[in-house]
């Protein structure tokens, strides 16, 4: 019998690892930041607002630049496992330029094999992630931002993907540092 588990994924910082690319771009702008400074909730406090905007434009709207992002280690194995047990899963991302997001997933071999028009959704606001997750009956959601997990009030199981171990533990989410670790909670 199929389980009732439904998994939702954030894209950046969970499926895609763009932290090395962020360090590279910020270094070129003259900031001497380290990998541990690259998660959005940290880098946003380091870069000047205009530089943060330029960084985000490069990451999410510049095709050539955005294609420099790598996959998070272990994500393909995890998706293969989820697919093989026929658990429904979705991508719910706040990328505002879906064609570029899709081109990146395509270039990394995830589109259309693991994500495609039937299970990938793009929304604008954090609260819309919750609404979409609720509509899709997501039971387990994985995000790399505490700000997002805080508004996912309709998702019973929330996971903070904290690869660099830069965020504190909290009661309302489970912290994982890798997809291998996440798999232990999902299966
Ligand atoms: Mg993210």
Distance from the CA of 32 to the center of ligand 1, in angstroms? 22
Distance from the CA of 10 to the center of ligand 1, in angstroms? 6
Tokens of 125: 């606001």
How many residues are recorded in the chain?
A: 187
Task: Beginning with the edge strand found earlier in the chain, give each strand of the sheet holding 140-143 in spatial order.
Answer: 120-122, 89-93, 7-9, 140-143, 157-161, 174-176
Is 105 in a helix, a strand, or coil? helix
Distance from the CA of 175 to the center of ligand 1, in angstroms? 14
pTM of the model: 0.95
Is 170 in a helix, a strand, or coil? strand
Instruction: State the pLDDT at residue 1.
Output: 45
Distance from the CA of 14 to the center of ligand 1, in angstroms? 6
Distance from the CA of 143 to the center of ligand 1, in angstroms? 6
Distance from the CA of 35 to the center of ligand 1, in angstroms? 15
SS3 content of the chain, % helix, strand, coil (to 5): 40, 15, 45
Gyration radius (Cα) of the chain, Å: 16
Distance from the CA of 96 to the center of ligand 1, in angstroms? 13
Distance from the CA of 98 to the center of ligand 1, in angstroms? 14
- Specify the residue for token string 């697919």: 83
Instruction: State the pLDDT at residue 18.
Output: 94
CATH class entry, domain 7-17+70-186: alpha beta
Residues of the chain with pLDDT under 50: 1
Per-position DSSP letters for 17-79, written without gaps between them: E-HHHHHHHHHHTT----GGG-SHHHHTTTS-HHHHHHHHHHHHT-HHHHTTPEEPTTHHHHH
Q: Give tens-digit pLDDT for 27-42.
A: 999 999 999 999 999 9
Distance from the CA of 1 to the center of ligand 1, in angstroms? 32
Distance from the CA of 30 to the center of ligand 1, in angstroms? 24
Q: How far is residue 59's CA from residue 77's CA, in Å, rounded to a whole number? A: 25
Instruction: State the pLDDT at residue 38.
Output: 96
Residue 89: asked if its preceding bond is cis (omega within 30°), the reply is no
Instruction: State the pLDDT at residue 3.
Output: 54
Is 89 in a helix, a strand, or coil? strand
Q: Where are the domains of the chain?
A: 7-17+70-186, 19-66
Q: Give tens-digit pLDDT for 43-59.
A: 999 999 999 999 999 99
């Amino acid at each position: 019998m199929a389980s009732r588990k439904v998994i939702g994924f954030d894209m950046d910082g969970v499926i895609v690892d763009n932290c090395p690319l962020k360090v590279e771009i910020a270094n070129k702008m003259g900031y001497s930041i380290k990998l541990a400074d690259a998660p959005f909730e940290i880098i946003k406090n380091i870069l000047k607002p205009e530089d943060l905007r330029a960084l985000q434009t490069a990451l999410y709207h510049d095709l050539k630049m955005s294609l420099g992002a790598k996959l998070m280690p272990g994500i393909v194995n995890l998706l293969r496992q989820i697919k093989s047990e026929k658990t429904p899963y979705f991508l719910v991302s706040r990328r505002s330029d879906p064609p570029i997001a899709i081109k990146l997933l395509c270039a990394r071999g995830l589109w259309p094999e693991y994500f495609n028009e039937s299970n990938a959704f793009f929304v604008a606001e954090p609260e819309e992630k919750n609404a979409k997750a609720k509509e899709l009956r997501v039971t387990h959601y994985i995000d790399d931002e505490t700000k997002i997990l805080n508004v996912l009030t309709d998702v019973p199981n929330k996971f903070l993907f904290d690869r660099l171990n830069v965020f504190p533990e909290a009661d309302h989410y489970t912290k994982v540092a890798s997809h291998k670790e996440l798999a232990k909670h999902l299966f």
